[in-house]
Amino acid sequence: MVAVGTDRLHRAVASKMICEMELPTYLTALRERIEQRLRLDTRFPTDCPERLAESIRYSLLAPGKRIRPCLVLMACEACGGEIEAALPAASALEMVHCYSLIHDDLPAMDDDDLRRGRPTNHVQFDEATAILAGDGLLTLAFAVLARDVRPVEIVADCVLDLAAAAGVCGMVGGQQADLEAESDDSITLPELEAIHRRKTGQLLAASLRLGGRIGGADPQTLRSLTIYGESVGLAFQIADDLLDVLGHEEKMGKSVRKDAGHGKRTYPSLLGVEESRRRARQLIDQACEAIAPLGARRAQLTALARYVIERDH
Amino acid sequence: MVAVGTDRLHRAVASKMICEMELPTYLTALRERIEQRLRLDTRFPTDCPERLAESIRYSLLAPGKRIRPCLVLMACEACGGEIEAALPAASALEMVHCYSLIHDDLPAMDDDDLRRGRPTNHVQFDEATAILAGDGLLTLAFAVLARDVRPVEIVADCVLDLAAAAGVCGMVGGQQADLEAESDDSITLPELEAIHRRKTGQLLAASLRLGGRIGGADPQTLRSLTIYGESVGLAFQIADDLLDVLGHEEKMGKSVRKDAGHGKRTYPSLLGVEESRRRARQLIDQACEAIAPLGARRAQLTALARYVIERDH
């Protein structure tokens, strides 16, 4: 990856050249701002137990793609807002994503020992600490939104968007449905898609909506961003399933074909590899079409959508 | 307990007689409104998996003292607000309390099979469902605040108060410190008190603050309510410890002397029974003194504080 300093990004924003940046360069610059913000948000006062703070930083500051916070910043910018204003929401989205990974990895859930090549949180620390680190991150996400999203009038909508996407009819419900479906060999494509919409799609859509709100988006634009987020989310899941079938263990840093080994149904197992690819392309077209009304400023969002189905890691 | 209908409470509010109601009658009336609200807030759409919804309702709608939501409503009323306006915040506080009980009872944490005479959530359902029910309740608490607390301008402060009290420097941090202290026989009174302030005191104080905010309290009144909440919270803990030493299993519906059996240090074990009682009374005096500036409307809060150290269940 090309290293791009904050100054260069600032200059690019100032000169309105950001739409012309190459996507990887742009994402690298966004990620630097996000990492910086995540480090700041996890400098806890001394009344936070040290082991708990360490456990949170271990997972939150681990290397990651930072897809959700990048989408928050990109949506904000695509709506004409400043990246700086969207950083608290970006941080909150990554915290919610990170908490969900910590809890999903627990022995009572997916029982994973490795994530991206490192011991999972409960292996590195212990189960109680991992449960509390997840609880703490989820709580911190809302604290950051409430404390730093401005103007204060949009905080309620941002909190509600995030809570609805992460809650029992969203991500948490999706994880429950996913666990229940694990033993079900007769799952249909609509059922699988309904699980992924809740488990992945809604949080991606919330990333776009929060960025949009902070960028001053009108209700019609928020609807467009929501469709983009849900569609990219599903395409992302299909791409993940395909990598799981076709990928190599060393590339993923986790056990490949693990999902298939658990008897889980995936897109390739239900649709075949070629039809899964076609479905992913169709979703990406849908995503790009939805944000067409945003005009030239949507360039990076379009590029990211296309990238999702081309990536190999 | 005396059954008191909603109508009677409405009339009492309307006629400004509420300060003269007996505390148990008043609490019963408040609890009826709270139960009704909790039932409404857990009517989930069909995209919430049924088992998860059941698990949430199993714990949230179980019989309970409803201390935190009662405090929200009482603080609102003591500041001149309407009970109706504070019901969403009351519901949110009970949800956060309930999630913390579900997670604390897990095998990796306190490993409890019984709570108030009923199987704990993970025993009745399973561990994965219990973890997700807790996650879902915590998330729902913030959704309810964001959706229903009005005016919308105070939502950010309410979310921040709740998140700060429930987070890594509050309740979650207190639980971590408590688990770490379990094996530590040399814990001092200030250390024990610091744990309880985080584990119990902060959420009680947040209950008062949210009620106060909704009732239109000024910053000085919020500070008074915070002192009241923290002091009552600690006194409540001491009373719990005393019941644990002196109580009877049938009264508590859980194993008495369990904490002592785990090697945990309690107020009575550090201070003795008489000195613990004296400390509780001192805290209650402090609580009542703090809210003296609220005038006649503080009557029920004062009565509740006195009741905390007199209760035997």
Give this complex's ipTM.
0.91
Partner-chain contact B140 A103, CB within 8 Å: no
In chain A, what residues touch B198 (CB-CB under 8 Å)? 47
Q: What is the pLDDT of residue B250?
A: 47
CB nearest B156 (choices: A129, A152, A198)? A152
The dihedral formed by the CA atoms of B172, B173, B176 and B179, expressed in degrees to the nearest 10: -100
b/e for A191-225, b at 16 or more Cβ within 10 A? ebbbbbbbbbbbbbbbbbbbbbbbbebeeebbebb
Q: How many CA within 13 A on the CB side of residue B32?
A: 15
| pLDDT classification of A184: cutoffs 50, 70, 90 | confident
In B, minimum Cα distance to A48 occurs at B169
Q: What is the pLDDT of residue B21?
A: 83
In chain A, what residues touch B180 (CB-CB under 8 Å)? 49, 51
Q: Using the 8-state DSSP alphabet, how is residue A115 labeled? A: E
Beta carbons within 8 Å of B291's beta carbon, 6+ residues apart: B78, B224, B225, B228, B298, B301, B302
Map out the domains of chain B with their CATH numbers: 6-308 (1.10.600.10)
Looking at the DSSP bridge assignments, the partners of residue B115 are: B118
CB nearest A48 (choices: B129, B162, B168)? B168
Measure in Å the smallest separation between the Cα of A155 and chain B Cα atoms: 6
Average pLDDT, chain B: 90
Measure in Å the smallest separation between the Cα of A307 and chain B Cα atoms: 31
Partner-chain contact B169 A127, CB within 8 Å: no
Measure in Å the smallest separation between the Cα of A54 and chain B Cα atoms: 12
In chain A, what residues touch B50 (CB-CB under 8 Å)? none
A42 contacts A56 by C-beta, under 8 angstroms: yes
**Using one digit for the tens of pLDDT, what is the confidence trace for B247-281?**
744 455 555 445 444 556 889 989 999 999 999 99
In B, minimum Cα distance to A179 occurs at B128
A to B CB pairs, distance under 8 Å: 164
In chain B, what residues touch A109 (CB-CB under 8 Å)? 128, 131
User: Which DSSP helix (H) or strand (E) runs through B24?
Assistant: helix B23-41
Q: What is the pLDDT of residue A265?
A: 80
**Using one digit for the tens of pLDDT, what is the confidence trace for B199-230?**
999 999 999 999 999 999 999 999 999 999 99
